[in-house]
Amino acid sequence: MAKNKPGRAVIFLVFRLVSFLVFALPARIALLLGQAFGSLCFYILKKERKKALENLDIAFKDSKSRTEKRAIAKKVFENLGKNFIEVISIPKLNSSYIKRYVSCKNIGILQQLLQEEKAVIILSAHFGNWELLAHYLSIMGMPMNVIARRARIEGLEAFLIRIRKKNGVNILYRDASAKEVVDLLKNKKFAGIMPDQDMDSVSGVFVDFFGKSAWTPSGPAVLNFLTSAAIVPCFIVRREFGHEVLIEKPVELVRTEDRRKDILENTQRYTRAIENHVREFPDHWVWFHDRWKTRNEL
C-alpha cells in the first residue's frame, strides 16, 4: 500500500489545491498553466534535466544539435505538465468529451481483434499521455487491463483508482502474479504493458535501443508464447488541442523450437516499434529515466 511521508503529504495537498483550480478554469487556460509548470520544472529539476540531455546525446549523437536536444528536453517537461492537468481533469470529463478530445483513425485494428475474440497485448510506453490512452481505449469498448506501478502517495493512489474505475480501466500492479495476467489474456481481455524502462526487478533481455544495448522487459514476448496474444503497438500523440491515438498492425513475431532465442528476437521487434515512435516524436518520451542503467557485461 502507498504510504504518506510528511513530504508526500505536502505534495498531495498541493495536488488537491491544483485540482480545485483546474476544475474552475477553461481547458485551454489550464493546459497553458500545465505547460508553464512543466517549463519551470525543466529549469529547477537539474538532475532530471541533466539525465534527459545525456540520454538525448546517446540516442541522437551528432544527428541533432545541442540546441535541438535542449529544446526537445524542455518540451518533454512541458508535455508532462499538460499531462498532469489532463489527468486531474478526467473526473469532470464525460466519455463523449474524451471521444472528441482524442481521435483515432485506425481503431478498427483493435475492434477487429476484439470481434475475433483474440487476446491482445497493448504495447505502449511512457510516451505522450499514457494514462489518457488507457481511458480512451476503454471508453471505445476495449476490455482494458493495465499493468502499472503503485503511486507512492496514498491519496494520489486513491484518486487514480477512482478515475480509472469510472472509465472501466482495470489495474494490475507490478507485484501481481504472472498467472493473473495470463488468465486475463486467456479470457480474451486486453493487457496494456509499457516495456520501455530499465527495471532490474522484472525479467528481461538485452536488446538494441537507439544503437545501444538496453535491459528490456521481455514480458510481452513471454506472454505471447503462453497465450498467443497479439502484440499491438498503441501510442498517443499530442496535437494542437487534443490527441491522436496511433495504432499499428500487430507486431510480426517469430516462433521456432528455440524459445529463448525467439523471446530475444521478439523483444527486439517490439522495442523497435517503440523506438520508431520515439524517433518520430522525441518530445513525447520521458528521457530522464535512466534507460541504459544496467550494463551488458557480455
pLDDT at 18 over 90: no
pLDDT digits (tens, 9 = 90+) for 184-196: 999 999 999 999 9
Q: Give the residue-averaged pLDDT of 223-235.
A: 96
CB 237 within 8 A of CB 128: yes
pLDDT at 127 over 70: yes
Which DSSP helix (H) or strand (E) runs through 16? helix 6-24
CB 201 within 8 A of CB 217: no
pLDDT at 124 over 90: yes
SS3 252: coil
Confidence of residue 298 (pLDDT cuts 50, 70, 90): low
- pLDDT attached to residue 1: 44
**Cell numbers given for 212:** 545501444
Amino acid in the structure at residue 25: L
Amino acid in the structure at residue 68: E
Distance CA 114, CA 100 (A): 22
Distance CA 183, CA 199 (A): 24
Q: Give the residue-averaged pLDDT of 257-285.
A: 97
- Range with the poorest average pLDDT among 43-47, 159-163, 166-170, 260-264: 159-163
Distance of CA 159 to CAs 96, 98, 101, 208, Å?
A: 21, 19, 22, 37
* Residue 132 or residue 9, greater confidence: 132
Task: Give the bridge partners for 144, in sequence order.
Answer: 190
Nearest to 120 by CA among 55, 14, 174, 193: 193
CB 154 within 8 A of CB 1: yes
pLDDT at 181 over 60: yes
Distance CA 80, CA 291 (A): 18
Question: How confident is the prediction for the chain on average, in pLDDT?
Answer: 92
15, exposed or middle or buried, with CB in 10 Å at 0-12, 13-18, 19+? Answer: middle
* Residue 179 or residue 275, greater confidence: 275
Amino acid in the structure at residue 10: V
pLDDT at 89 over 50: yes
Q: Give the residue-averaged pLDDT of 187-212.
A: 94
- pLDDT attached to residue 7: 58
- pLDDT attached to residue 156: 81
- pLDDT attached to residue 8: 64
Distance of CA 82 to CAs 13, 129, 135, 156, 288, Å?
A: 19, 9, 16, 17, 17
- pLDDT attached to residue 151: 77
- pLDDT attached to residue 14: 74
Q: Give the residue-averaged pLDDT of 35-42.
A: 96
- pLDDT attached to residue 176: 72
Dihedral class, residue 9 (left if φ above 0, else alpha if ψ from -120 to 50, else beta): alpha
Query: Would you mind telling me the total number of residues written for the chain in this entry?
Result: 298
pLDDT digits (tens, 9 = 90+) for 70-82: 999 999 999 999 9
Provide the whole-model pTM: 0.92
As separate numbers, helices (DSSP H) first and strands (DSSP E) second, the chain gives 11, 9
CB 214 within 8 A of CB 125: no
- pLDDT attached to residue 215: 97
What percent of the chain is modeled with pLDDT above 70? 96
- pLDDT attached to residue 267: 98
Distance CA 242, CA 188 (A): 30
Q: Report residue 270: phi and psi, to 5°.
A: -80, -25
